[in-house]
Structure 1
Amino acid sequence: MIKIKIADNYFKRLIGLMFKRDINYGLLIVLKYGSSIHTCFMLFTIDVYFLDENKIVFDKVTLKPWKYYKASKKARYVLEVKENSIDLNIGDRLDF
């Protein structure tokens, strides 16, 4: 289990994990538009899990700082965590 912070408004989604030196939690981003993310201004590598409206993981990627990624389909949620901090697989369902 991992502590989760929720980014459910414009400002929280805008800032995300930028400028953080390290984290011991996951950031759950509630999306309104699109399914792309970037790691500009990030200081460490993250694992990113894209979830559908049923909270099922359908895409997973590891991103170093200053990268861009667009999911294979529209996501409702994005979970960002420090690289290798949790073990989720495509098809897993989250409960939050």
Structure 2
Amino acid sequence: MIYNNEQINIKITYANNFYKRFKGLMLKKDFDDGLLFTNLKDSSIHTFFMRFEIDVYFLNEKKYIFEKTSLKPWKFYKPKKQAKYILETRKNKLKLKIGDRLDFI
């Protein structure tokens, strides 16, 4: 992943179909990398059946972060506007902020 022209070594798993988006991180025992949701019809997310806290980054079509939240298990969140991409990581895994631009390689 590229963050503001700096490479960050993190394995990104793509949730780019219905099944992968539906399953997400539910029931996983551990998670150290990133999960990128694409082909979204809705940007709302939940942490039902999850075992750990996550950071969630909402990106626009140019891959700029426009909203960020942290969620504990069994929570629901809907961003203020529709996202093109959603990146989920373990809480405090990355130090990204609103306005940062990402690219995935």
- TM category, shorter: over 0.9
Unaligned runs of 5+ in 1: none
Match of 2:49 in 1: 41
Task: Provide TM-score, normalisation by structure 2.
Answer: 0.89
| Equivalent residue pairs, number | 96
Alignment of 1:20-31 (within 5 A): 20-31=28-39
Report the equivalent of 2:84.
76
Does structure 1 residue 15 correspond to structure 2 residue 37?
no
Letter in 2 for 1:28: L
Answer yes or no: is 1:59 the counterpart of 2:78: no
Q: Following TM superposition, by how much is the alpha carbon of 1:22 offset from its aligned partner in structure 2, in angstroms?
A: 1.1
2:97 aligned partner, one-letter code = N
Task: State the TM-score, normalized to the length of structure 1.
Answer: 0.97
Q: For the residues of structure 1 that align with 2:89 and 2:16, how far apart are their CA atoms?
A: 16
Deviation beyond 4 Å, 4+ runs, structure 1: none
CA deviation after TM superposition for structure 1 residue 31, in Å? 3.7
Deviation at 1:24, TM superposition (A): 1.6
Structural RMSD (CA): 0.7
Q: In percent, how many aligned pairs have the same letter? A: 56
1:6 corresponds, among 5, 10, 14, to 14
Q: Is the 8 A contact 2:17 2:39 kept in 1?
A: no
Contact 2:63/2:103 (<8 A) preserved = yes
Distance 1:40 1:21 in 2: 14
